[in-house]
């Protein structure tokens, strides 16, 4: 008769060794849980940083939390624009523009601000348009994707011959 291998006759470790192992494992697990809590609690601020956004989106996808939409108004750029007299409404102007989202992420449609100014740069008029106003209806998607363009035509009152420049801004 042969003797049983060592692993077959090995005794379980005494309870003191199991507690010692557990005592070493619990603090790192608690620290990891704390770091995870802090990141999830601060996810809105972290998601606004392009370097962190991908990680936060992935983490929230795994945990089931929500991430605020990307908001970078300075990433919208006007690629074409035109100002002309309204063909059928005297005393009105038609302002046409095309703008593009140059952000790395999709973002909510911006509020479009149009300002008219005189030769000295003094503002003669300013108006903000919601996406519904400048698109003519509710957008089919709440987001404008990265690299996506949109064309708009706005009707505004003509402030007279003093208006020589106009500018778009995004909010």
**Band of residue 21 on the pLDDT scale cut at 50, 70, 90:** confident
Mean pLDDT, range 135-145, rounded to an integer? 93
Would you say residue 68 lies in a domain? no
Average pLDDT over residues 77-102: 94
Quote the pLDDT of residue 161. 75
Q: Against a cut of 0.85, is the pTM above it?
A: no
Domain region containing 131: 73-170
Name the burial class of residue 133, with classes exposed (0-12), middle (13-18) and buried (19+) by CB atoms within 10 angstroms of its CB: middle
Domain tally for the chain?
2
More confident residue, 28 or 18: 28
Q: In this predicted model, which residue has the larger pLDDT, 4 or 54?
A: 54
Q: Which helix (H) or strand (E) holds 41?
A: helix 15-41
The enclosing domain of 132 has a CATH number of 2.70.50.60
Say if residue 60's pLDDT is above 80: yes
Residues 145-155, mean pLDDT to the nearest whole number: 95
48 shares its domain with 85: no
Whats the size of the chain, residue-wise?
Answer: 171
Domain match, 105 and 125 both: yes
């Amino acid at each position: 008769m042969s003797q049983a291998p060592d692993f077959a006759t090995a005794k379980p470790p005494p309870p003191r060794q199991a507690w010692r192992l557990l005592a070493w494992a619990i603090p790192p697990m608690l620290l990891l849980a704390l770091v995870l809590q802090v990141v999830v609690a601060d996810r809105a601020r972290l998601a606004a940083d392009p370097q962190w956004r991908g990680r936060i989106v992935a983490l929230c996808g795994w945990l089931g939390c929500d991430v605020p939409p990307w908001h970078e108004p300075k990433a919208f750029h006007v690629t074409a624009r035109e100002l002309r007299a309204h063909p059928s409404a005297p005393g009105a102007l038609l302002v046409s523009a095309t703008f593009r989202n140059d952000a790395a992420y999709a973002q909510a449609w911006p509020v479009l601000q149009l300002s008219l100014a005189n030769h000295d740069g003094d503002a003669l008029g300013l108006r903000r348009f919601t996406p519904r106003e400048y698109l003519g209806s509710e957008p089919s998607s709440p987001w404008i994707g990265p690299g996506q363009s949109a064309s708009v035509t706005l009707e505004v009152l003509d402030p007279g011959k003093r208006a020589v420049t106009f500018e778009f801004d995004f909010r």
